Chains A and B, each alone.
Chain A
Amino acid sequence: MDAQEQQLPQPPRPEPALENRPYWEALTEHRLVLQRCTGCQRIRHYPRPVCDACFSMAYDWAEASGRGTVHTWAITHHPFHPGFKRQVPYTTVTVDLEEGVRLQAPFRGDSALLKIGLAVVVDYEDVDANLTLPCFRLA
């Protein structure tokens, strides 16, 4: 890495809402958890205070299998944030998780293989001791 590259800013860090910390803490333990309504057992993502099915505000965090299928994808060539300048081009996938919600994350694999319905599995990339981000690989 040359001096100029070292000066590039880092990607933006998530600033978790108070209630969302368990999601991010689980990722640091290489676990994917999803918010589950304890009123009607419905899984929801992204996290929010109210279940839009039964309007309960009670929930817990359910461990997800990490398995899913590709819903769609994009390949970024232009770094819209300077923190991603080193990474372009990179592929992001939107994945239908087995639990019925979607997760969007970088795809680590050959993007030429991508198609709707392709089976993928979540993996974890440690940024530092306090932050782990999800990504997807071929199942």
Chain B
Amino acid sequence: MDQDLISLKDRAAVTGVGETAYVRETNKTVVALCMEASLAAIADAGLHPRDIDGVIPYPEAGLIAEDFITNFGLTDLRYSAQTPMGGASPVAAVQSAAMAVATGVANHVLVVLGLGSLADVRITKRLSDMPQMRLIGEFEMPLGMNAPAQLYAHMARRHMELYGTTSEQFAEVAMTCRHHAQLNERAMMRKPMTLADHQASRLIVEPFRLFDCCLESAGAAAVIVSRAAQAPDLKQRPVYIGGIAEGHPPSPSAITQRNEMTRLGLANAAPVAFRMAGVTPADIDVAEIYDCFTWTVICQLEDLGFCAKGEGGRFVEQGRLRLGGELPVNTHGGLLSEAHIGGMNHIVELVRQLRGVCGERQVADAEVGLVTGYGDLGDGSVAIMHR
């Protein structure tokens, strides 16, 4: 490697995690929710709010660096950025934070995502207001494609037709998340789900049924990314970032025009992250995979290299993704059953799994884990972390 290049391998650690309660409706503003989660993460790390010298807020929450300067009385914020990639934003933001601490631009970067009450931010409104959706807004929404469920249904149908993937295999993902959510008191959906329940849930947009779709939630979650050398002096057992990358598919803002619509941006990012971390999919003890829809998990398992393209449906069968299985996935319940906190809740869960503090849902001897983000119709991000 060129001597001037800095690999991010093990240069940064997640030192603090925190969140609010996850609910359907709240009377708190998204600013207040983000501050609450941020303070929890800062306290978890054993830091003082004024130790924060970098911040990456989730752009769609409408927060900017100034909100944190004002609320925390910061006098020397040295770094701020935004990563507008929808559900791929949080992991991409961790990459940006890791770059900032690895290069000495900042010491402790706060990464936070919050979503307010649904009445203010229904998904179709959120979508049409995003600049990434300009083409969809002009060419697809007037023809009846108004929500991610519809756009992704076209991808999922193609996957089913090409590879024989089935709705029963989608159900495996939904049931796995629900099974894990029953072990997580923070989860919004804890009632057991059977295959029959899944197959009886109403059709939303074929091939997706209601139980193939994630929740809509209000709440916030935050993590602190610190320079690796400082992490052992903080309060928690450090969780190091071994490899991290983001990836974008061709035609990122219009699935319709994508050369291969069942291959995500994650397929570009995954080899970079695995190579950086020096591990392979076989080394992963636990995976938190962005699950806006059940099928999205299946496709990402392929693009991560856990199985070949087209084999994801068969890969998720026979409890492989459940606690005790070969690859426990979404041990908190995911967006499908814990809450939709934009995938920041996936990062929080991975860090806790690698600290070994997840109680009943702890993956035994979890040493190396992986978390993905997926958003904006195909962007991907992935972090491989280890204790």
Task: List residues of A whose CB falls within 8 A of some B CB.
Answer: 11-17, 20, 45-46, 71-78, 80-81, 84, 87, 89-90, 92, 94, 101-106, 115-116, 133-134
Whether B162 and A116, one on each chain, are in contact in the complex, defined by CB atoms closer than 8 angstroms, is yes
Q: Is the interface of B mostly helix, strand, loop or mixed?
A: helix
Given A20-B138, A104-B143, do A77 and B206 touch, yes or no (CB 8 Å)?
A: yes
How extensive is the interface on chain B, given as a class?
Answer: 35 or more
A contact residues around B146 at 8 Å (CB):
12, 80-81, 84
Contact between chains at B144 and A72 (CB < 8 Å): no
Q: Report whether B138 and A14 are in contact in the complex, using a CB–CB cutoff of 8 Å.
A: yes
**Interface Cβ pair total, 8 Å cutoff:** 101
Nearest Cβ on chain A to B156's Cβ, whole angstroms: 8
Q: Other CB < 8 Å A-B pairs besides A77-B206, A92-B144, 17 of them?
A: A12-B128, A15-B137, A45-B257, A72-B155, A72-B158, A74-B154, A77-B202, A77-B203, A77-B204, A78-B202, A80-B123, A81-B144, A94-B256, A103-B256, A104-B154, A104-B256, A116-B161
Shortest beta-carbon distance from A88 to chain B in Å: 9
| Beta-carbon contact of B158 and A116 below 8 Å | yes
Q: How far is the CA of A72 from the CA of B257 in the complex (A)?
A: 12
- The interface residues of chain B lying within 8 Å CB-to-CB of A116 are 158, 161-162
Distance in Å: Cβ of B105 to nearest Cβ of chain A: 33
B150 within 8 A of A: yes
Give the residue of B142, B155, B204, B205 whose beta carbon is less than 8 angstroms from that of A14.
B142
Question: Bound state CA distance, A84 and B204, in angstroms?
Answer: 14
What are 19 A-B interface contacts by the 8 Å CB criterion?
Answer: A15-B137, A16-B138, A72-B261, A74-B207, A76-B150, A77-B205, A78-B149, A78-B202, A78-B203, A80-B124, A80-B149, A80-B150, A81-B141, A81-B146, A92-B143, A94-B256, A104-B154, A105-B143, A133-B142
Partner of B144, one of A17, A71, A76: A76
Contact present for B154 and A94 (CB under 8 Å): yes
